[in-house]
Amino acid sequence: MSGFQNIHAEVGSDKVVVTMIARRCTRRIGTRCWRRGADPEGYAANFVESEQIMQTKGYTASYVQVRGSMPFLWEQIVDLTYKPSFDIVRVEEAARVLERHYHDLQKKYGAVVGIDLVNTTGGEGRLYERYAKSIEPILSEDIRFIHFDFHKICGHIHFERLSQLYDQIEDYLKKHKYFLLDDQGKKMAGQTGTVRTNCVDCLDRTNVTQSMVGRKTLESQLQQLGVLGGNDTISNHPAFDADYKVLWANHGDAISTQYSGTPALKGDFVRISAVKDN
């Protein structure tokens, strides 16, 4: 399943087109609560590849990042409680399933940094602990893992604090770059690694975080091509900034509607908020 949206913007005398494409994996389909974690082959629930494509001055740039449920065997037994409890299944297989999942990601994307946004307490805390313990044996230069307690650090409105997360991955993003074609269609650079983000549903916290990564990457692309100055940012161009926020909010809503039946809960905040520049 896939979908796309795009925006047209003007930055000074330059025209910029930004397109978002979502590609949802069909190997572990199902809706929120009913389909969690990964299957024994490492295919994760709500696994979505998000590609951000930028076109300007004849150049085309692309950046791909992914989201997906925590890649080991766990489930949520649906009942009448507000938040059904999480159960980790076949704990002894967690490391094997996770390794299979990351191995598949490496074959497709190269290096991978896993960003886990769940709470450190309660049921989410137990999932985080299992994730961290299971990925530890395969951590390397090409496989990194970062836990960022989104709710504790950002709360419900302080998304500018995601700059703390960006500080931890800035070197990774610059090292692994993005895909770039020149105005003659010649490849100038390739993306050699991706960011894999999750929360519990891989919807709200995940989409806010991915929009931050997308924004920073887009600014790097526009700075490289001379559309933005070296210290210039998207937020300095209000019309472009507003359209870009809506683009990512709509992207999150489209994914959320397929997985949960409703738009993303943090969509309104994405539309009106931006990560402040460092």
- Whether this prediction's pTM lies above 0.85 is answered by yes
Q: Does a structural domain hold residue 65?
A: yes
The pLDDT profile of the chain, 278 residues, written as one tens digit per residue, is 556 899 999 998 999 999 999 998 777 777 666 678 999 999 999 999 999 999 999 999 999 999 999 999 988 877 767 777 888 999 999 999 999 999 999 999 999 999 999 999 999 999 999 999 999 999 999 999 999 999 999 998 899 999 999 999 999 999 999 999 999 999 999 999 999 999 998 899 999 999 999 999 999 999 999 999 989 999 999 999 999 999 999 999 888 887 666 665 555 555 555 444 44
For the chain, what is the domain count?
A: 1
- Name the residue with tokens 């209000």: 238
CB atoms within 10 A of CB 40: 11
Q: Does a structural domain hold residue 217?
A: yes
Q: Does a structural domain hold residue 51?
A: yes
Q: Does a structural domain hold residue 153?
A: yes
- For 13, the domain range is 2-272
Q: Does a structural domain hold residue 13?
A: yes
pLDDT at 78: 76
pLDDT at 263: 66
Q: What are phi and psi of 60, to 5 degrees?
A: -130, 130
The DSSP-derived string for 242-278 is HHHHHHHHHHHHHHHHHHHSS--TTHHHHHH--PPP-
Sign of CA dihedral 35, 37, 40, 46: positive
pLDDT at 275: 46
133 exposure class (CB count in 10 Å sphere: 0-12, 13-18, 19+): middle
The helix/strand count (H/E) of the chain reads as: 7, 11
Q: Does a structural domain hold residue 64?
A: yes
Q: Does a structural domain hold residue 277?
A: no
